[in-house]
Structures are given as C-alpha cells and as structure tokens.
Structure 1
Amino acid sequence: MALADAPRRRLGPFEVAPIGLGCMNLSHVYHPIPSPEQGAAVIEAALDAGVDHFDTAALYGFGANEDLLGATLGSRRAVITLASKCGMYGRDGKRVIDGAPESIRRLCDEALTRLRTDVIDLYYLHRLDPKVPIEESVGALAELVSAGKIRAIGLSEVSAATVRRAHEVHPIAAVQNEYSLWTRNPELGTLDVCRELGITLVSFSPLARGVLTATPPVLADLPKADLRHTMPRFHGEAYAANLAIRAQLADLADAAGCTLAQLALAWLLAQDQCVIPIPGTRSVEHLHENLAAAEVEVSDATLARAGKLLNDRTVVGNRYAPAAAGDIDTEAFLEAG
C-alpha cells in the first residue's frame, strides 16, 4: 500500500495522507543545514511518494524555507495542502514573537510571495504573543480568511484554554504541538479539546528530534548552532538515560519487524484519528522509511509496550531550557524524569 492509498485523515476542511512532511530542518536549526538543491530533492521525493501536506513557517531560515517550497512545488502546488505560520519570524538576525494584527497581515503577504501562491491552505499563529490577546491575533487571521488569502486557521504550541478562546473567535482547524513518545504534553488537555471541537492535532518532532531513529544525534558531532545543544534532554546523564530507553524501543521495533522510527510514528497514528505527524528529514531514504509507517502492522500490545517504555514519567530532562520554555503556552509537566 502506497501512502497515496492509505486511509485519509481530516486536516480542518481538507483530507490528507496520514503522514505529512515537516520542512523546518531543510532550512533551520538542525545543522548542518542542507543545500537548497538537497532540500528540493527531499520535497520532490515526498511529492512523488504521495505526500500531500507540507508544513513550513516564516521563521524557518528567516524566509528561506518558504522560498524553497515555493520554488520547488511548481504546478504540483495545486494538489497539496500547504501550511505555513506567522507570529514568529527573523528580524536583524534574531527570532521575534509578534502576534499583532498588522504583523500577521504583513507576514501573510510576504509568505504568499515567497510560496508563489495566491492562497495558503492552513495558516498558523506560530506562538502566542503574551502582549497580544489571542482574540486579536485570531481576528486578524479571520480577516485573511475573508480576504481569500488563507483557507483555514491553526495555532501552534498552545494550551487547551487558549484553543477554546481562539475557537470562539473563528473555527480553529489544527493545533500543531510537539507530540511523541517522549513528549506527552498534549495529553494534559490539548488532545482532549481537539477531540471535543473536531480539531486536528498536528504532531511536530514526532521522532523526538532524531532520537527515535536509527542514528540518534550526538551533540559532540553537531555544530554549536544546532538547537539540540540548548535542550536538557540531550545532555550528560539525562541523555544517557534516554538513550538506554531508546535501545529498548529499538529492540521492540526489531521484534515487531519495523524500524524504530516506524514504531514511533505508528504509536502516534494509533493515539487518535485526529493526530497527523509531520516528521522532517534531510534524507530521501529516511523519508521513505518514515512514510512506510502508514502501512506497517504493529500489534496493540507492542504499541502499549512502547508507550510504557518511554513517556512523561520515564523521559529524563525538560523539553526546553527555561528561556525557551517561557515562550510557549502549552501545558507542562511539573518536572521530567
């Protein structure tokens, strides 16, 4: 069964394949960053494999990722669901969170130009701006829907309470939060509110930022600019403990006849029909491996075992360092590990 033949899942008003492509690491924070030619090769391979949901943002490469998608999609733009994000972008070489209506309108116009399209299918507020009520930010996005510049509204890294407030202003199609075996924050409330309100939960970093793959990252081998240097789970005794759990999961996957990445994605797909993971990769080979998770058969017992091995109680280390954690609105566990 090819990805195109896999049962579809609802993404707001759209129907898409059960696994999409997160494009961030083709231009942003995971180093070394591939060349535009390498990035284009991954996007083209995804299109050929039946991927019809591509996710980008103004922040990624400070516009470079939207440029890459716009230049690569070409005529096939019409057959995919294209998602991007506003509210967080690069200015003077630094990341800026800005959910003001005038900023949202400007970023949308810039995104349309970079993406070489007349309309963005799904447009997220990338981060809640604490200086701007969510009602004002979503109100600006609703105006973009009315203007025909975007088709549906999403939110990223938000809590259930914020989703409810936003949904009262305009229907929210999708919430994009980090969700994986080792990051269970959506289970504190956001997943339940998505089920209740008919919202899709788009899972970013579903492979634990590379840990739940055949080659987990080694910080000593990564350039200092790599985002994972800032994350507590990748350091010292915490990372050693997490890798020990990863080894058990790899054995479980091997016994099930699939790869570790496929097991991790199959676990997410089994959590609810409203969940759509968007793994990213720089490798065409890994792309095909990830997409094959839509067709692997893993027993309920194996999935349950995976969930018991790695979860919010067994993972060691917080998701973000304190400074980065202060920029997100998602529910958080009191401590990790």
Structure 2
Amino acid sequence: MNRRDSLLAALVASVWGFNFVVIDWGMGDVPPLLFCAVRFLLVLVPAVLVVRRPQVSWRTLALVGATMSLGQFGFLYVAMAAGLPPGLAALVLQAQVVFTIVIAAGVLRERPTTAQVAGVLLGTLGLVVVSVGRGGHVPLTALALCLLGALSWGIGNVVSRASGVPGGLGLTVWSAVVVPVPLVALSLLVDGPTAVVDGLAAFGWQAAVSTVYTAGLASLVGYGVFNTLLGRNPSAAVVPWVLLAPVVATASAWALLGQAPNAAESAGGLLLVGGVLVALRRPRTAARPPRDAQRAPERALSSTRR
C-alpha cells in the first residue's frame, strides 16, 4: 500500500472506532433497538434509490441483513445501553473473527490452519481474561449481549462466504432492507409502545447527529472507501488496519467519557487483538488463493458495520 492508501485505511478505522463513542453519546433516552432501527433506515433511504442491488437472491440479502446488521448491531446497541463501555464493545466485537473461523470449520468444512487455531485459542483466552477481570461497572449481561452480536456477525460472514455474495456498498445498502421494521417491532415488544413513543419524542439533535455519523460516515462512506482500498491492494495489507478501531474507541472513551480500561481489560484486549493478528497470518508456503478467498478476512473484519 502506498502512503495515501495507508492514511485512508487508518482514517476509516478511526472513523469506525470513534463510531462506538458516538453511539453511546447519542443514544440518550432513545430505546437502543429503536435507535438502531433509525440508523439503518438512514442507511437504506435514499441510498437504495441510487445504489444498484447486488445480483444475488433476496433470500441471501435477507440472511446477510439479519445476521450482519440486525443481529450484530441489535445486540451491540442493547449491550451498550445495558452498560458496556464503547472501548470494550469495540474490542469484544472482534471476537467475530474467532467465531467465523470456528463456524466455517464446522459448516463449510474449511480446515483451519495452524495459525488460525492458535489465533482462536489466544483470542478465546483474551475474552476469558476480559470477562473474569472486567470492572464492576460492566455487567456480565452486557458483555454476553455483545458476544452474541459478534456471533451473529460471524454467522453472517459464513453465510456470505457460502453464497459467494459480493461485498461492497450495494450489499450494505440492500441488506438493510430487512433491518428497520424487525427492530422497531422488537422495540415495541421489549420496551413497550409508550417507551417507543417517548423515545421518538426524545430524539433530539444529539441523536440526529449520532445517526448521521453512524449511518452516513461510518456505514456508507467508511465501507465505500474500505472496499475501494481492497479493490486496489491485497486484503492482507488492508484488513489489519481495522484492528486500529478498538484502540481508537478505547482512547476516545477514555479521553471524552473518562472510561479508562482496567488492567484485566487491557491485558485481555491485547490477547484478543494478538489472536486476531495471528489468525489472519497467511502461511508463507501457501499458494496464492482465488480472489474471493482473499476477501474472506475482509468479510470477517470490515465494519461497514462498525
């Protein structure tokens, strides 16, 4: 990668990392599932009118949207509303790499490499350290909800891999078709109609700015730039930049919200990130994989979604 592309990759990862702080800042009194629904409504409209639909079945789009967007972000928003700090949320979501490798091995019969097995073990150890040594301000329920979000993302990665669906802005926009209505329905069921009405009334300028950032900058612009970088650089040169996101999220939460990680969270986070880096390492003697296989790590880490 040249210097310009490296700076762009770092910028996108920083936008994705700061995204977690923006979500926490903007949610306020808006129910988390309703807040998430508004985000994906803005991802969908008006972009769906100008972005071409990927040439895949509606069933595939629905599965990708239900796992990568609805499941991942529904659980994430509820976890943060339940008390999970932005920095820790960004870190725990990286467990999706571990889940992706394990699920792909079981469902797609993709035999993991030695590096991937080592990375899964190291990442799992990091998650154990984080969960056992988390501060008293972090409820175990919130941590578990975020892990469910990472699991949903991992399932979505495998669905995408199995179907051969092309990544990109089109997939981000059109898979969002199945997201807003179920989230609103879940919010009505979980929070109640009164809370939903009150949440809409409480949707002030902070919530609006947060939504524009998360939907417009983090999802549409961020993923568009990231996919462009993948189009002209090897994925192995681009994907590791995503690991900058938890660092930015943690630093931002520390500086702006006073949420400093404790020793166990920091140590566990380093183990998890180290595990991801090990899992992404390619054997030097391996033959060059097909282009679609080269994009598998990108599907496992890209955060459009962030």
TM-score using structure 2 length: 0.27
> Which structure has the higher relative contact order (CA within 8 Å, separation 6+)?
2
Greater helix share, structure number: 2
